[in-house]
């Protein structure tokens, strides 16, 4: 049996190898950040089932492999990508972590919008990036966040200036395109939205080669200033043999609005962390999510909403459809700090089990230290109503079609919360293989 110290040493060796392959020269503050994150990751090691935050998700199949960075390459699956992206959007396409200029359309950006590669931002927008980094205590970060920051060299920085209203969808597309097995990408997206601004951002993670095993370890940091509205959606539809561990961290200031949605349909093992800090009075956050898995897939959604100021609201609705012998995990935490009076927070997780061997572990949590609050949570796990299936069959609808129709009905209400029709169409496209397998 490998000891914990030996696991730490293995991680250290892997990180050192990754860093030797990292290209680019960075300012000293970036080098220091990478070093601190490297040390943090090496100290923590990989979590096991004994760790409370990972008790339902065995990541041993992920961490037992030895990964390498993919070589820079042209996208092989251009046709598949074009079926998903829309030319009217502001497309930022990264292939294996590197910006693909020929697939993006960044030459005529609207006023108030700046888009840079992470390397460019490190060199030219250091103060803005450091302000985002300072929001989070590096000593509280998990190993996978630390891992991405230690290897931070690929990614994108998006900045929206004060009072700018960006009407087009900003679409960040991360595509893994390779014929090699055991590659790793560590995309890092940083988003800063100024005061009294509005924007809609879709961040997609895609893979098209069903035979390749790879690991995506992603991090997105979002800073939302006062009186600003951000509509943000994360869509993950990676190859079914791949692994995805992603964290999205949102920091909100006074009277800001975050309308979030996540869709998880791909990957053999997927972990999706969403942390929201309501750091200003009157801030509001909506966290909706949908996960649909088949076969032996496992999807683990962890949300954390930290109410740090009074008069804030948060609402969460996560729905899951599980078929075959797939597994789902939902762990939703709501923290209400002592100062956060007049908090209004709601959380609900609903699951539909279609497979005889599918299962869900759901764990809503409330930690309330204020006394003038309204906080509720709930969870449901169920199956389709046989009477409804019979009714549809009596109308000459095949059994499988009846299941698909009722399953669509289960998710339609949460999909209808997405206000942008272009994003809705994309998510429905990603859901097609899931419903075809029912």
| C-alpha separations of 295 from 110, 240, 247, 436 in Å | 44, 10, 25, 13
Q: What is the pTM of this model?
A: 0.94
pLDDT interval class at 15 (50, 70, 90): low
What pLDDT does residue 69 have?
84
Percentage of the chain modeled with pLDDT above 70? 94
- Better pLDDT: 68 or 10: 68
What's the mean pLDDT in 183-195?
95
| C-alpha separations of 192 from 20, 122, 306, 329, 349 in Å | 30, 14, 20, 30, 30
Judged against a pLDDT cut of 90, whether residue 73 lies above it is answered with no
Quick: pLDDT tens for 373-427: 999 999 999 999 999 999 999 999 999 999 999 999 999 999 999 989 999 999 9
Weakest mean pLDDT among 11-25, 35-49, 60-74: 11-25
Percentage of the chain modeled with pLDDT above 90? 79
Judged against a pLDDT cut of 50, whether residue 23 lies above it is answered with no
| pLDDT mean across residues, the chain | 92
Weakest mean pLDDT among 29-43, 186-200, 281-295, 405-419: 29-43
What pLDDT does residue 18 have?
57
pLDDT interval class at 325 (50, 70, 90): very high
What pLDDT does residue 71 have?
76
pLDDT interval class at 438 (50, 70, 90): confident
Judged against a pLDDT cut of 80, whether residue 8 lies above it is answered with no
What's the mean pLDDT in 305-329?
97
């Amino acid at each position: 049996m490998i000891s914990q110290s030996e696991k730490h040493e293995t991680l250290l060796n892997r990180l050192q190898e990754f860093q030797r392959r990292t290209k680019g020269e960075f300012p000293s503050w970036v080098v220091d950040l990478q070093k601190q994150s490297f040390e943090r990751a090496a100290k923590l090691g990989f979590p096991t089932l004994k760790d409370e935050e990972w008790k339902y998700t065995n990541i041993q199949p992920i961490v037992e492999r030895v990964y390498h960075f993919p070589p820079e390459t042209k996208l092989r699956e251009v046709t598949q990508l074009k079926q998903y992206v829309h030319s009217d959007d502001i497309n930022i396409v990264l292939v294996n972590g590197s910006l693909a200029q020929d697939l993006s359309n960044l030459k005529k950006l609207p006023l108030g919008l700046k888009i840079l590669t992470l390397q460019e931002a490190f060199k030219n927008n250091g103060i803005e990036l450091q302000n985002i980094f300072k929001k989070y205590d590096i000593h509280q970060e998990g190993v996978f966040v630390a891992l991405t920051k230690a290897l931070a060299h690929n990614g994108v920085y998006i900045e929206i200036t004060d009072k700018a209203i960006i009407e087009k969808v900003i679409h960040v597309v991360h595509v893994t395109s390779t014929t090699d097995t055991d590659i790793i990408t560590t995309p890092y997206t940083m988003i800063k939205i100024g005061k009294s601004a509005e924007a809609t951002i879709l961040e997609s993670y895609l893979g098209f080669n069903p035979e390749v095993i790879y690991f995506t370890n992603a991090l997105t940091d979002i800073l939302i200033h006062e009186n600003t509205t951000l509509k943000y959606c994360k869509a993950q539809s990676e190859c079914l043999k791949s692994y995805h561990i992603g964290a999205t961290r949102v920091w909100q200031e006074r009277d800001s609005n975050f309308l979030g949605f996540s869709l998880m349909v791909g990957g053999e093992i997927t972990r999706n962390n969403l942390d929201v800090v309501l750091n200003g009075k009157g801030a509001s956050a909506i966290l909706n999510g949908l996960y649909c898995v088949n076969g032996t897939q496992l999807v683990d959604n962890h949300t954390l909403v930290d109410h740090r100021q009074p008069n804030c609201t948060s609402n969460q609705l996560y729905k899951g459809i599980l078929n075959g012998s797939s597994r789902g995990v939902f762990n939703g935490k709501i923290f209400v700090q002592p100062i956060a009076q007049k908090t209004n927070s709601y959380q609900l997780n609903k699951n539909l089990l279609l497979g005889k061997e599918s299962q869900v572990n759901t764990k809503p949590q409330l930690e309330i230290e204020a006394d003038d609050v309204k906080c509720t949570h709930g969870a449901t796990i169920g199956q389709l109503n046989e009477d409804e299936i019979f009714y549809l069959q009596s109308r000459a609808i095949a059994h499988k079609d009846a299941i698909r129709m009722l399953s669509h009905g289960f998710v339609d209400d949460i999909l209808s919360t997405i206000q942008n029709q272009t994003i809705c169409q994309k998510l429905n496209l990603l859901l097609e293989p899931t419903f075809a397998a029912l």
